């Protein structure tokens, strides 16, 4: 890891930022108890705590800058944010973790305490490859503000991140002590998320001092720059997962696959001759002639590693090596069989052994060739360079397009459901109206037209005279069309007609 070639940053311009979790319940520390007691209890705030994220910023000059606290809330209650460390900004997120929007606000808060410009005084900010750090809005803001974003190699933050390596660990140990003192002074109470900043304030000031910050940057080899600060074995793969790559067999190669074997055989023959000549150098002028016969490997192969066999003969004071064809593949073993062996040197007995030699690690069985995964593993890169910005912008546009399509599909689905609901309601309303109309048509008679006073008076007189002739009570409304007394049907007269008749 080295600085970009076009920039020459000083210790005041090299920054590091990272998040850490700060839960309301931490693991209890070791306590003093009677010897021999199997169960030792310790009071904690709960079985499982609520996480509060903390973002910190430091630079290589040994200065700590205000960061942010992310609370698992929808909105920030400023009335309860009274115990934050100096200059820290409270933010809210339902999950309690960092997002790209909150990280952008954190960078804007950092620039209130740091002066930088794209042309005159840019700064270098070292981060890991978390998705919230490499979003396009964040990179675009940093490009305009003069912040050069440099990401660490993936899966190496435990040794290349100064905050993870030397600062967060001691701070959390002190936070655990603060939690224990708080529980002792407040019996029967639980630590809330609003108490976390207060319990973090003192350990943060104690551990984030100039000496520790400078030591963290030096331990990671960032400033002063030292490529050998981290030993190579820290990046060695695990012995359990270090599997050999198996090349799939290909029968169409034919005789082309024999050329590497022949070249390797010739090189091993030359090396074997040199070894034998070195052993026989004290016996006089004796040389070795290697018979490079056209000996090809056999077609039959075995599962075990093949070994090369040579016949060493002496012909008139001259040594000759002749390769012998065997059933196994030739020249695949790194150990060459020799008829003349070197005398073992006197070695002192070993006094120490590695744990792997005593109990070897189990190896995972390799059943076939490894299949590469189509997954972006990330890399160490400068995100504010133009090619990287173009890639991030393209990925951002694709993501936004997918999100718009998803929202459009959801809206279409809701509209379809609403339309179906409205159609059902309209159908039910129409059916109810039809039934109501049918029921009214059964009991409703044709309404009589409205009459004026003269016509209504004459109609009343005619009705009375007709009722008198038929011996019918004129006060009762009987139909005049039916003359039979036994089958007289009663007819309803509309209220308007009655009113006209009464007034007339």
Segment 143-181, tens digit of pLDDT: 999 999 999 998 888 899 999 999 999 999 999 999 989
Are 331 and 270 in contact by the 8 Å Cβ rule? The answer is no
Whether residue 212 is predicted with pLDDT greater than 90 in this model: the reply is yes
Q: Is the pLDDT of residue 320 over 50?
A: yes
How confident is the model at residue 466, as a pLDDT?
52
Q: Is the pLDDT of residue 504 over 90?
A: no
Q: CATH classification of 11-28+44-234, choosing from 3.40.47.10, 3.40.1010.10, 3.40.30.10, 3.30.420.10? A: 3.30.420.10
Query: What confidence score (pLDDT) does residue 39 get?
Result: 82
**Does position 261 have pLDDT exceeding 70, yes or no?**
no
Report pLDDT for 17: 96
pLDDT score, position 319: 60
More confident residue, 55 or 119: 55
Residue 495 has pLDDT above 60, yes or no: yes
Stretch 53-80: mean pLDDT: 93
DSSP β-bridge partners for residue 124:
14, 148
Residue 329's pLDDT band, with cuts at 50, 70 and 90, is very low
Helices (H) and strands (E) in the chain, counts: 12, 9
Q: Where are the domains of the chain?
A: 11-28+44-234, 260-297+305-340, 453-503
- Dihedrals phi, psi of 185, to nearest 5 degrees: -85, -15
Q: Which residues make Cβ contacts (< 8 Å) with residue 214, sequence separation at least 6?
A: 60, 61, 62
For residue range 357-408, list pLDDT tens digits in order.
Answer: 777 666 666 666 666 665 566 678 999 999 999 999 999 999 999 999 999 9
Residue 356 has pLDDT above 80, yes or no: no
> Residue 198 pLDDT > 70, yes or no?
yes
> Can you say how many angstroms the Cα of residue 347 is from the centroid of all Cα atoms in its chain?
54
Whether 409 shows a pLDDT value over 80: the answer reads: yes
Structure tokens at 303: 């599962």
Q: What confidence category does residue 269 fall into, taking pLDDT thresholds of 50, 70 and 90?
A: low
Q: Which residue has the tokens 């270098």?
A: 124
**Residue 27 in tokens:** 């693991």
Q: Do 167 and 213 meet the contact criterion of CB atoms below 8 Å apart?
A: yes
């Amino acid at each position: 890891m080295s600085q970009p070639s076009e920039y020459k940053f000083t210790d005041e311009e090299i920054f590091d930022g990272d998040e850490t979790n700060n839960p309301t319940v931490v693991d209890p520390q070791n306590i003093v108890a009677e010897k021999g007691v199997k169960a030792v209890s310790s009071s904690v705030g709960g079985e499982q705590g609520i996480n509060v994220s903390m973002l910190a910023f430091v630079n290589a000059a040994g200065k700590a800058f205000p960061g942010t606290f992310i609370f698992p809330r929808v909105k920030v209650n400023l009335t309860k944010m009274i115990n934050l460390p100096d200059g820290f900004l409270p933010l809210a997120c339902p999950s309690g973790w960092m997002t790209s929007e909150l990280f952008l606000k954190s960078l804007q808060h950092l620039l209130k305490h740091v002066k930088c410009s794209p042309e005159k005084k840019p700064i270098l900010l070292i981060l890991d490859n978390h998705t919230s750090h490499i979003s396009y809005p964040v990179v675009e803001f940093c490009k305009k503000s003069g912040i050069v974003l440099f990401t660490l190699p993936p899966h190496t933050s435990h040794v290349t991140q100064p905050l993870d390596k030397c600062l967060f660990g001691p701070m959390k140990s002190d936070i655990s002590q603060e939690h224990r003192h708080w529980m002792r002074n407040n019996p029967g109470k639980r630590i809330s998320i609003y108490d976390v900043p207060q319990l973090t304030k003192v350990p943060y000031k104690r551990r984030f001092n100039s000496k520790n910050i400078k030591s963290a940057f030096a331990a990671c080899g960032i400033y002063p720059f030292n490529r050998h600060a981290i030993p190579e074995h820290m990046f060695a793969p695990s012995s359990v997962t270090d599997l050999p790559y198996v090349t799939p067999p290909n029968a169409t190669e034919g005789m082309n696959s024999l050329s590497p074997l022949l070249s390797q055989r010739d090189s091993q023959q030359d090396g074997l001759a040199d070894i034998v000549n070195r052993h026989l150098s004290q016996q006089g002028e004796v040389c070795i002639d290697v018979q490079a016969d056209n000996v090809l490997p056999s077609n039959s192969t075995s599962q075990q590693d093949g070994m090369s066999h040579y016949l060493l003969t002496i012909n008139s004071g001259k040594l000759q090596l002749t390769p012998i064809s065997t059933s196994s593949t030739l020249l695949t073993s790194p150990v060459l069989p020799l008829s003349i062996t070197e005398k073992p040197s006197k070695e002192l007995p070993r006094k120490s052994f590695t744990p792997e030699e005593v109990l070897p690690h189990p190896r995972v069985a390799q059943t076939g060739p490894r299949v590469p995964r189509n997954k972006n593993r990330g890399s160490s890169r400068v995100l504010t360079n133009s090619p990287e910005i173009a890639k991030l912008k393209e990925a951002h546009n694709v993501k936004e397009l997918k999100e718009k399509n998803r929202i459009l599909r959801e809206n279409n689905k809701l509209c379809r459901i609403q339309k179906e609901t409205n159609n059902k309601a309209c159908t039910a309303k129409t059916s109810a109206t039809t039934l109501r109309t049918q029921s009214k048509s059964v009991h409703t008679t044709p309404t009589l037209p409205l009459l004026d006073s003269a016509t209504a008076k004459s109609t009343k007189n005619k009705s009375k005279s007709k009722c008198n002739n038929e011996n019918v009570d004129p006060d009762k409304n009987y139909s005049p069309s039916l003359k039979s007394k036994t089958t007289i049907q009663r007819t309803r007269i509309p209220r308007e007609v009655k009113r006209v008749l009464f007034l007339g």
